[in-house]
């Protein structure tokens, strides 16, 4: 018997026992389709959750500060060995796929005997990063930076204390011998002006101390942070002049939780396939008894143990392969039905299942592997049947 004959015999045996084969295939179809449906829905729901978290903000931000190694103290004066300049921040914005917002800390606005509000020099990216609510007027524009405009954004507390809570856009505040036009009222604890105006016109300002960075996706944070670190080390010619801080460890926890939950779902789904494999092994063992006499006749006419072994093994693999392919088709179809007809009644907004190559490939590989694993013992048992005993078997 050659390989082709063994394959034809295996396929013929499956066709001649359609009910038994169908019952065996059914368990694999259910396992594979369940795997694809559950895992792709889980991936889709995770994606939707993470997109919602990213829109809320705060989970995709890190900060750059001068390290102690970078700070030079001379009496009461503090300077930096290597300063984070506006030109450098502008270059970082162009070089990396992230938003860099430098902050210069200026003097404070006294609104009462015991209350003062800090003023920060910022860029438009600062408001993109933190998404503060604008109550009145407008934000800072790029043109304000280019022309060093004398404008300022105040918070509600300044408006309430100094302007009795009235309309303030177009009013003025004085600072460092300059008059600044109030262009808006914003949520927060500080007042804001263009960073260039702060640097060039306000007295006693310090160099840039803080740079806030927002990545496009929180999963990219560690990679972007490390790329920026390497770039700054190469630029300064020295390592460790800047330290990097993640304000919240939640992104790492969320990413870890998401991965752990996905792995858990995959493991459960794979166990469903294994249970199906045990069922098929039982069916194969039962079929051996039905075919003892057939195996004896084949051996009597020249078939070897290895031929019988591979015939039973190929039957097992074919059953799993056929079930796997049908399960994939059914899984892809059913996941869309579940999403559109069932989940829409329980979940706010539409959840799109994420159908990746991995989601389809894993159950197919597991199906073939399970067929090999659970087909080995029945195949070995069938191949070891004595031809004399087989011919005598009733």
pLDDT digits (tens, 9 = 90+) for 147-202: 999 999 999 988 988 888 788 889 998 888 889 999 999 988 899 999 999 988 88
| CB within 8 Å of 89: residues ≥ 6 apart | 100, 102, 123, 208, 211
Task: Please state, in angstroms and rounded to a whole number, the distance separating the CA atoms of residues 351 and 42.
Answer: 10
Angle at 306 (CA atoms; ends 300, 312), nearest 5 degrees? 95
Task: Please state, in angstroms and rounded to a whole number, the distance separating the CA atoms of residues 53 and 26.
Answer: 40
φ/ψ of residue 174, rounded to 5? -105, 140
Task: Please state, in angstroms and rounded to a whole number, the distance separating the CA atoms of residues 141 and 95.
Answer: 21
Q: How many CB atoms lie within 10 A of CB 139?
A: 17
* Token pair in block for residue 353: 């299942």
Taking only the tens place, the pLDDT of each residue in 47-95 is 776 666 555 555 688 899 999 898 888 776 778 889 888 899 999 999 9
Q: How many CB atoms lie within 10 A of CB 195?
A: 27
pLDDT value at residue 346 = 46
* Token pair in block for residue 112: 């009462």
Task: Please state, in angstroms and rounded to a whole number, the distance separating the CA atoms of residues 195 and 109.
Answer: 17
Taking only the tens place, the pLDDT of each residue in 99-153 is 999 999 888 888 777 778 889 999 999 998 888 889 999 999 999 999 999 999 9
> What is the bridge-based pairing of β-strands 178-186 and 191-194?
unpaired
**377 vs 237: which has the higher pLDDT:** 237
The strand pairing partners of 65, in sequence order, are 243
SS3 155: strand
CB 351 within 8 A of CB 42: no
Give the up-direction half-sphere exposure of residue 265: CA atoms within 13 A in the CB hemisphere.
20
pLDDT value at residue 165 = 75
pLDDT value at residue 262 = 65
pTM across the whole model: 0.56
Average pLDDT over residues 348-376: 72
Taking only the tens place, the pLDDT of each residue in 12-37 is 766 666 677 777 777 778 778 877 87
Taking only the tens place, the pLDDT of each residue in 324-344 is 888 888 888 877 666 655 554
pLDDT of residue 298 exceeding 60: yes
CB 62 within 8 A of CB 245: yes
Could you identify the residue written with the tokens 């459960």? Answer: 268
- What letter does residue 351 receive in the DSSP assignment? P
């Amino acid at each position: 018997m050659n390989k082709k004959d063994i394959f034809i015999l295996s396929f013929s045996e499956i066709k001649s026992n359609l009910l038994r084969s169908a019952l065996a295939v059914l368990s694999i179809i259910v396992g594979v389709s369940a795997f694809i449906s559950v895992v792709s829905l889980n991936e889709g729901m995770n994606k939707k959750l993470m997109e919602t978290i990213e829109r809320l903000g705060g989970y995709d931000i890190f900060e750059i500060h001068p390290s102690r190694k970078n700070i030079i103290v001379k009496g009461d004066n503090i300077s930096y060995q290597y300063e984070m300049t506006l030109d450098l921040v502008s270059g970082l914005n162009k070089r990396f796929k992230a938003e860099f917002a430098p902050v210069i800390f200026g003097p404070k606005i006294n609104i009462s005997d015991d209350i003062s509000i800090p003023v920060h020099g910022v860029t438009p990216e600062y408001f993109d990063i933190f998404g503060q609510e604008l109550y009145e007027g407008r934000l800072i524009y790029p043109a304000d930076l280019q022309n060093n405009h004398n404008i300022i954004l105040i918070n509600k507390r300044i408006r309430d204390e100094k302007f009795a809570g009235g309309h303030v856009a177009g009013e003025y505040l004085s600072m460092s011998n300059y008059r600044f036009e109030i262009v808006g009222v914003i949520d927060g604890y500080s007042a804001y002006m263009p960073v260039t105006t702060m640097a060039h016109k306000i007295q006693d300002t310090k160099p840039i101390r803080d740079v806030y960075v927002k990545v496009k996706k929180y999963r990219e944070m560690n990679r972007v942070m490390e790329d920026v670190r390497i770039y700054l080390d190469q630029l300064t010619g020295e390592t460790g002049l800047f330290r990097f801080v993640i304000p919240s460890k939640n992104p790492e926890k969320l990413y870890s939780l998401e991965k752990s939950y996905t792995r858990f779902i995959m493991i459960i789904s794979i166990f469903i396939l294994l249970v199906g494999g045990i069922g098929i092994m039982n069916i194969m063992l039962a079929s051996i008894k039905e075919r003892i006499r057939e195996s004896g006749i084949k051996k009597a006419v020249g078939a070897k143990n290895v031929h019988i072994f591979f015939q039973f093994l190929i039957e097992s693999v074919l059953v799993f392969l056929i079930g796997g392919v049908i399960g994939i088709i059914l899984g892809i179809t059913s996941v869309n039905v579940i999403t559109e007809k069932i989940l829409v009644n329980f979940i706010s907004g539409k959840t799109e299942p994420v159908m990746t190559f991995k989601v389809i490939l894993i159950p197919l590989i597991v199906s073939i592997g399970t067929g090999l694993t659970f087909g080995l013992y029945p195949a070995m048992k069938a191949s070891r049947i004595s031809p004399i005993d087989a011919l005598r078997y009733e």
